[in-house]
Structure formats: C-alpha cells, structure tokens
C-alpha cells in the first residue's frame, strides 16, 4: 500500500489493540485445544488470555480513539435500534465497532475474565476439587465458544453487508474513509444514530 492510499484510510485500531486481539485468538485457541489436558499449556494460555482481556479493558477505559469503550458502546435503546436497522437491511456502516459489535467486545472480555478467574480459583487450596467450580469453568468455556461463533458470524455478515474486509482491517488497523451515511464512532456514546 502506498503512503497516499494509507493516508486516505484512517487508522481505526492501534497496534496494541490488534496485538491484543491476536493474542486473545491464539491463547483462547490453545486453551480450547488443551481443555481435556488441564496441564501447563491450558493454564498458561488461560493466564495469557486473562492478562490480554485485562489490558484490553484498561485500554477501553483509559485509551483513546476507536479503542475506548465510550466511543463504541452504545445505550441499549440505541443498540436495539441498530439491530432493527440490521434486520431491515438499512444499518449504516460504522468506522469503528457498530453497536452490536461494541456490546460483543464487552461480553467477550467479560467471559474471558470469568474463565480466567474460575480457572485460577480452581488451582487454589480453598477451591481445589469443587465440582461446581469445574462445571462453571466448563460452562464458561462453551459459552465463550458460542460467543466467538456469533462474533465471527457478525464479522462475516457485516463484511458482506458493507462490502468491507473487516479481517484485513483488524490486521492492518485501517478502514476505508467514512462515506455519506457512515458513522465515524468518534463521538461519545449516545450522540450517534
């Protein structure tokens, strides 16, 4: 990509957000692959995922631009309105996360944090061997798998609907500039349609 075409495409996701995203993909995948053998690979992958979720949450709370939760987490009423637009096929393109994607970020990070915390608790003397905790950890793992499937489905759907390669955008950090009717997401929550 030339310098001129790079300048035309705004940077939406910073290098740190993209690396954390890739780190979450890798660590969650490793933890899932080793879910039957709860040895060091599963534990280390779980701790890496937990750390990545915590750092991403800190960036979401204190960072800037499109990484900040306040830039893309919309009020429930706005999100339901957006969902209705999706169903009608009239949803606008968002430069950052759309309202459904914003809530998915929070739910995914929360699920990963709960998975990491429940996994850690299971290694402590106080909670070692408790069946309910093992069940909770497994249930959270399956929940995360379902959420990842919904997330990937949403990315594919949105990529097709707006003729935009969101996977490439996450890898490069850049998206096509806003066009007529697009929402740039740079306004605080509640100020976008």
Instruction: Summarize pLDDT for 105-162 with one digit per residue, the tens.
Output: 999 999 999 999 999 998 888 888 888 999 999 999 999 999 999 999 999 999 999 9
In the chain, what is the straight-line distance between the N-terminal and C-terminal CA atoms, in Å?
33
Helix 99-122 vs helix 76-88: angle between axes, to the nearest 10 degrees?
120
**How far apart are the C-alpha atoms of 115 and 46, rounded to whole Å?**
8
| pLDDT at 189 > cutoff 70 | no
42's tokens:
């599963």
Whether the Cβ atoms of residue 76 and residue 20 lie closer than 8 Å to each other? no
| pLDDT at 191 > cutoff 60 | no
The pTM for the full model equals 0.88
- Confidence bin at 184 (pLDDT 50/70/90): confident
Span 46-102, pLDDT tens digits: 999 999 999 999 999 998 888 999 999 999 999 999 999 999 999 999 999 999 999
Q: Is the dihedral of CA 153, 146, 97, 59 positive or negative?
A: negative
């Amino acid at each position: 990509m030339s310098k001129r075409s790079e300048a035309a495409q705004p940077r939406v996701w910073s290098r740190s957000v993209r690396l954390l995203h890739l780190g979450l993909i890798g660590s969650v995948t490793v933890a899932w692959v080793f879910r039957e053998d709860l040895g060091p690979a599963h534990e280390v992958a779980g701790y890496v995922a937990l750390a990545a979720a915590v750092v991403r949450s800190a960036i979401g709370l204190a960072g800037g631009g499109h990484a900040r939760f306040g830039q893309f987490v919309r009020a429930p009423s706005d999100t339901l309105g957006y969902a209705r637009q999706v169903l009608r096929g009239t949803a606008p393109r968002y430069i950052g996360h759309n309202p459904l994607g914003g809530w998915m970020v929070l739910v995914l990070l929360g699920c990963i944090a709960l998975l990491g915390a429940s996994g850690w608790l299971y290694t402590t003397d106080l909670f070692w061997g408790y069946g309910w905790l093992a069940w909770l950890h497994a249930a959270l793992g399956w929940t995360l798998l379902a959420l990842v499937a919904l997330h990937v489905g949403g990315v594919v759907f949105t990529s097709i609907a707006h003729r935009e390669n969101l996977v490439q955008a996450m890898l490069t950090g850049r998206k096509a500039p806003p066009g007529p009717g697009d929402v740039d997401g740079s306004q605080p929550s509640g100020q976008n349609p």
